[in-house]
Amino acid sequence: MIDALHKQFFYIFDNSTYPGVPKVNIHPIDSDSDFFVGKIQVTPIRAYHGQLPILGFRIGKFAYITDAKVVPEPELEKLKGIDTLVVNALQYDVHPMHFTLDEAVAFAKTVGANRTYFTHIGHRISYATAMAELPKNMELAYDGLRLTICNQK
């Protein structure tokens, strides 16, 4: 994966002094091990975007999994006891790489978070219609939404 970054975005790794070129520091993580960002413990959650392996993350009682279609059964253990889940719900129609709204609702019910926010929402989902039909502890995220999370297990 790091080699792909170097190949695709070679110009950000060549120590260029050209103005506007981003500076990137790569910090590889092991998808099987927690890591820390400062003092904040982060747990990787393996998922799949179609066939492509991706990671979601758990921080304390908060989990963020977007751009996913499948979260393997063993990874669900890492989601036990979360209060807030953010997960993608692209559209109503089946998609090969993203949860549909119905799939995301079913996933959220399996996880059992106290509150779920759906993100990565396509333009075919009506905010008013979806909000009227979603379970009470689930809602569509929106631009400007702010969530406060803390690093407690």
User: Which ranges in 9-87 belong to alpha helices (H)?
Assistant: none
Long-range CB contacts (within 8 A, 24+) of 29-36: 29/55, 31/55
Structural domains in the chain, sorted by start? 30-140 (3.60.15.10)
Q: Per-residue pLDDT tens for 16-36? A: 777 888 888 888 999 999 999
> What CA dihedral angle connects 121, 106, 29 and 31, to 10 degrees?
-150
pLDDT on residue 14: 80
Strand runs labelled E in the chain? 35-37, 40-49, 52-59, 62-65, 84-88, 115-119, 138-140
> Which distant-in-sequence residues (6+ apart) come within 8 Å of 146 by Cβ?
none
pTM of the entire predicted model: 0.89
For 85-134, what is each residue's pLDDT tens digit?
A: 999 999 999 999 999 999 999 999 999 999 999 999 999 999 999 999 99
| Banded pLDDT at 64 (limits 50, 70, 90) | very high
Contacts of 40 (CB under 8 A, 6+ apart): 59, 151
pLDDT at 46: 98
The proportion of the chain whose per-residue pLDDT surpasses 70, expressed as a percent, equals 98
- The Cα–Cα gap between 98 and 67 comes to 6
